[in-house]
């Protein structure tokens, strides 16, 4: 079974803090993704990575950066947290194959910025 | 501007009946679609997918229909079970590599016993 784990289920941070969200997958997947989920908006893509040290911006990259130093790990960084970044953050991974576009998701991190 | 729309935020269905969840998209270049199911406090899990070269795909109780001319797809669950109660997301691939997806806002399905 594919397992995607996220470092925290719940996180509370103060405005202006630097926040690190970690994601690890154990299936040697090439592609990894960060989304945020907000009510009425569904999942919105922040960044994705198709290989180590490679990254692409998604729909809402402003205020975020990412790091992928190892294949299994994809980190989302909030350089200076703001209250509008309070959200559920979901990490996903996927193997590069034309047979399936299925992504495997972690359980999510609910981040509250006060 | 939402490229993938799920116009029903919620749906209630009696156990044993059919559930029909709808999804509309705006870009005719989207060529692969997926449905995910999400329970509270868990990440979404993949349910079923369909390529634009098909108009139907079945997997057990779940069937997805695609109408390309209307840019519409629907997920049918027959028969519905209480364990199907969850939020369902429709997603479309924006590239040919499965690296860039856009999701709809979700529909909360409640299956009543």
User: How many CA atoms are closer than 13 Å to the CA of A35, on its beta-carbon side?
Assistant: 28
pLDDT value of position A98 = 60
Does pLDDT of A97 surpass 80?
Answer: no
**Residue of B27, B45, B52, B98 for testing the chain A interface, max A β-carbons within 10 Å:** B98
Name the residue facing A102 among B46, B89, B105 (closest C-beta).
Answer: B46
Establish if B102 touches chain A: CB-CB under 8 angstroms: yes
Q: How confident is the model at residue B84 (pLDDT cuts 50, 70, 90)?
A: very high
pLDDT digit string, tens, across residues A83-95? 999 999 999 999 8
Cβ separation of B101 and A40 shorter than 8 Å? Answer: no
pLDDT band at B100 (very low <50, low <70, confident <90, very high): confident
DSSP-derived pairing of the beta strands B107-112 and B10-14: parallel
> Residue A59: its chain B contacts at CB < 8 A?
102
Which tokens is A64 given?
């975020």
| pLDDT digits 0-9 by tens, B30-68 | 989 999 999 988 999 999 999 999 999 999 999 999 999
Mean pLDDT of B16-34: 95
**CB within 8 Å: B103 and A42:** yes
For residue A101, what pLDDT is reported? 83
Q: What is the pLDDT of residue A9?
A: 94
Alpha-carbon distances, residue B23 vs A51, A52, B35, B88 (angstroms)? 31, 34, 10, 10
Q: State the DSSP string of A63-110.
A: TEEEEEEETTEEEEEESS--GGG-EEEEEEEE---SS----EE---EE
Q: Whole-angstrom Cα distance, residue A114 to residue A17? A: 10
Q: Does residue A82 carry a pLDDT above 70?
A: yes
Q: Which of B6, B98, B104 sits opposite A101 (nearest CB)?
A: B98
Mutation choice for A interface testing from B21, B99, B104, B106 by most A CBs within 10 A = B99
Shortest Cα–Cα distance, A49 to chain B (Å): 8
pLDDT > 80? residue B99: no
What pLDDT shows up at residue B63? 98
């Amino acid at each position: 079974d594919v397992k995607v784990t996220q470092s925290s289920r719940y996180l509370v941070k103060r405005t202006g803090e630097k926040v690190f969200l970690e994601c690890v997958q154990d299936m040697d997947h090439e592609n990894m993704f960060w989304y945020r989920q907000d009510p009425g908006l569904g999942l919105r893509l922040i960044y994705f990575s198709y290989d180590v040290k490679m990254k692409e911006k998604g729909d809402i990259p402003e205020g975020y950066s990412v790091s992928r130093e190892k294949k299994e790990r994809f980190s989302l960084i909030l350089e200076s947290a703001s209250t509008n970044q309070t959200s559920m953050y979901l990490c996903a991974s996927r193997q590069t194959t034309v047979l399936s576009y299925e992504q495997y998701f972690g359980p999510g991190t609910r981040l509250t910025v006060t | 501007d939402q490229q993938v729309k799920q116009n029903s935020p919620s749906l209630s269905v009696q156990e044993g009946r059919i559930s029909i969840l709808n999804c509309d998209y705006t870009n005719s270049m989207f060529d692969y679609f997926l449905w995910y199911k999400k329970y509270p406090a868990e990440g979404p899990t993949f349910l079923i997918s369909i390529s634009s070269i098909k108009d139907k795909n079945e997997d057990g109780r779940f069937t997805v229909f695609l109408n390309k001319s209307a840019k519409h797809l629907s997920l049918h669950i027959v028969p519905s079970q209480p364990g199907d109660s969850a939020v369902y997301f429709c997603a479309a691939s924006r590239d040919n590599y499965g690296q860039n997806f856009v999701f709809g806002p979700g529909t909360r399905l409640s299956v009543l016993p």
